[in-house]
Amino acid sequence: MRDTGPPWTDTDEKATLLGFLDYLREAIATKAAGVPEPQVRTPGVPSGTNLLGLIKHLAHVERFYFLGRPITNLRRTLRPARTETLDQLLADYREATRQANEVIDTYSDLSRPAPRPGGRAAAPTMRWTLTHMIEETARHAGHADILREQLDGATGR
């Protein structure tokens, strides 16, 4: 599959930001798709980072920033349970991003506050949140690239 990159637009800020974020979301999901057990949960680095954990983590982070759902233990979001499968966690990630996009779609002004769990500091703007999620997803997509290459030599998107 040829990687065409995110959609090209320079007329609408929200469309540009969401285009990059959706591109990165699909990149990380594609990187994990089809990796068999136990490799999908095999740590590739001493910290324990693995492909399945990255997918699980990003679903939690999407829900935190865009849906206002709390995360009680950030480290636990990186550790898939033995009963959690790649298909389940990919479906959960795709559902989290679908719900996030529904929220994002309601914003015509990116300077408005994004959703935030109760008891937290003031919410950042939706602009900041979109930019942060691009950074967060890109960083973990890079991790996934390295982990996948270590597993089976697959490179690229």
Q: pLDDT digits over 73-107, tens only?
A: 999 999 999 999 999 999 999 999 999 999 999 99
pLDDT confidence of residue 119:
67
- One-letter-per-residue 3-state SS of 47-105: CCCCHHHHHHHHHHHHHHHHHCCCCCCCHHHHCCCCCCCHHHHHHHHHHHHHHHHHHHH
pLDDT confidence of residue 9:
65
Q: What are the structural domains of the chain?
A: 16-152 (1.20.120.450)
In this prediction the pTM is 0.92
